[in-house]
Amino acid sequence: MNIRTLKIFSDLVDNANFSRTARQNNISQSAISQKVKTLEARLKINLLEKKQKAFSLTEEGLIFYKHAKLILSQYNDMIENLKCYDAKISEGVNLLTSHWIGIHILPHYIREYLKVFKNSNLNIHYVDYTRIQMANLDLRSDLIILELPSNGDEFVCEPFAEDRFSVIYSECIHHRKPKSFALHDLASIPLVGFVKNHPLRSILERSTGKKKVHFRYFMEFNQIEPIKQAIEVHNAMAILPSSILTFHESRTLQAVPLTDMIPITLYLIYRKNCQISCATRHFIEILKGKSLLSE
């Protein structure tokens, strides 16, 4: 029994026709019949039940067919992975994302990717918040990762990871470290935050608006790094994604969860009906936690 035999049997069941299966596999109808008989003799079971000019699967044949399809799928995946492994040096990935995702979320995934595609070029292009809506039209990118979904029908848009908002503050503010903050506690405190219409501020305001909570901002920026600097300089507070603090910063800045959890969903966006390189496809699989090559 070999892969070709499994394919022929699977094609025969799918086509429900000997002549079509013979043409598809470039063999004669009699050769197909002989392969089925050889299988039945080896397994000591009947796979097919003939009915005049047609045939149907026996119960044993159905079990054999399901497992044959599974084996063929795994075999094809293996061949594709081997092809990609062979091509890993010459291919790269052009990735478009926002600064905080690229700096704070993606490094883990990139390390997993580079374990296999060691010499591959992974080019990260950062998009400013003012160009977020235009980013989906960027034809140079193999992959787009943003905190907002794509509205275009020509794109695949899949959630792949989730962060959440926390309160970031200078340790100089609170000698007693609070375990959490409620949104209403922050309504009366001047905050450092994102400029209006920034995607993260939009996500935050969409959630807080439902709870009828409104914040006051005394400083606004379009990037996370100057917000963190402002927190330290002015002993201030901000509501930012939980993942943004580095080990060094955690000595001077504290991250405390909100009692009202507000998730930040990250979206994986790429074009439909577009040939994706092996490198890009496996980076997508790593992002979705499905890569075989990284194991």
* One domain for residues 67 and 12: yes
Note the pLDDT of residue 191.
94
- pLDDT tops 80 at residue 138: no
DSSP sequence for 247-271: TTGGGTEEEEEBSS--EEEEEEEEE
- Is residue 293 assigned to a domain? no
- Is residue 295 assigned to a domain? no
* One domain for residues 183 and 254: yes
* One domain for residues 272 and 156: yes
Last residue of a domain, one of 87, 107, 133: 87
- pLDDT tops 60 at residue 139: no
pLDDT above 90 covers a percentage of the chain that reads 14
pLDDT above 70 covers a percentage of the chain that reads 84
- Is residue 234 assigned to a domain? yes
Are the C-beta atoms of residues 130 and 144 closer than 8 Å to each other?
Answer: no
Report which of 246, 262, 265 is spatially closest to residue 167, judged by C-alpha positions: 262
* One domain for residues 189 and 104: no
Note the pLDDT of residue 295.
41
pLDDT band at 178 (very low <50, low <70, confident <90, very high): confident
* One domain for residues 143 and 279: yes
pLDDT band at 217 (very low <50, low <70, confident <90, very high): very high
Note the pLDDT of residue 130.
61
DSSP 40: H
CATH of the domain at 104: 3.40.190.10
Are the C-beta atoms of residues 234 and 192 closer than 8 Å to each other?
Answer: yes
Rounded-to-integer distance, Cα 205 and Cα 203, Å: 6
Are the C-beta atoms of residues 239 and 168 closer than 8 Å to each other?
Answer: yes
Rounded-to-integer distance, Cα 31 and Cα 54, Å: 17
* One domain for residues 225 and 245: yes
Burial of 295 (0-12, 13-18, 19+ CB in 10 A): exposed
pLDDT band at 84 (very low <50, low <70, confident <90, very high): low
Least confident of 6-10, 74-78, 285-289, 291-295: 291-295
Token readout for 266 is 């990250």
| pTM > 0.85 | no
Are the C-beta atoms of residues 96 and 143 closer than 8 Å to each other?
Answer: yes
Last residue of a domain, one of 64, 87, 110: 87
- pLDDT tops 50 at residue 129: yes
Average pLDDT, the chain: 82
Report which of 137, 135, 123, 70 is spatially closest to residue 92, judged by C-alpha positions: 123
Cα–Cα distance list, 238 to 180, 220, 241, 248, 255 (Å): 14, 10, 10, 18, 10
- pLDDT tops 90 at residue 221: yes
Are the C-beta atoms of residues 273 and 190 closer than 8 Å to each other?
Answer: no
Structural domain boundaries enclosing 73: 3-87
- Is residue 294 assigned to a domain? no
* One domain for residues 207 and 279: no
DSSP 181: B
CATH of the domain at 76: 1.10.10.10
- pLDDT tops 80 at residue 107: yes
DSSP 129: G
* One domain for residues 55 and 191: no
CATH of the domain at 195: 3.40.190.290
- Is residue 31 assigned to a domain? yes
Note the pLDDT of residue 266.
92
- Is residue 292 assigned to a domain? no
Note the pLDDT of residue 219.
95
* One domain for residues 272 and 140: yes
Are the C-beta atoms of residues 75 and 5 closer than 8 Å to each other?
Answer: no
- pLDDT tops 50 at residue 189: yes
Last residue of a domain, one of 56, 87, 118: 87
Q: How many CA atoms lie within 13 A of 120 on its CB side?
A: 28
* One domain for residues 152 and 9: no
* One domain for residues 208 and 278: no
- pLDDT tops 60 at residue 11: yes
Mean pLDDT for 223-228 is 91
- pLDDT tops 60 at residue 175: no
- What stretch of H or E contains 56? strand 54-57
Rounded-to-integer distance, Cα 161 and Cα 157, Å: 12
Mean pLDDT for 249-255 is 75
Least confident of 3-12, 52-61, 90-99, 167-176: 167-176
Total number of domains in the chain: 3
- pLDDT tops 80 at residue 243: yes
